[in-house]
Amino acid sequence: MRPLAHPALDDITLTGILHALSDETRVAIFVGIAGSAYSQRCAAFTTVSEKTVPKSTLSQHFKALREAGLIRSERQGVEMLNTSRCAEVETRFPGLIPAIIGAYLAKAKQR
Instruction: Give the model confidence (pLDDT) of 37-75 as tens digits.
Output: 999 999 999 998 888 999 999 999 999 999 999 999 999
Look at residues 58, 62, 64, 70 and name the one whose alpha carbon lies nearest to residue 9. Answer: 70
Which residues lie closer than 8 Å to 9 by C-beta, 6 or more apart?
69, 88, 89, 91, 92
pLDDT at 28 over 90: yes
- Judge whether 71 and 6 are in contact, CB under 8 Å: no
- Report the predicted TM-score, pTM, of the whole model to 2 decimal places: 0.93
List the chain domain ranges: 9-105
Q: Which residues pair with 3 in a beta bridge?
A: none
Domain 9-105 fold is Arc Repressor Mutant, subunit A (1.10.10)
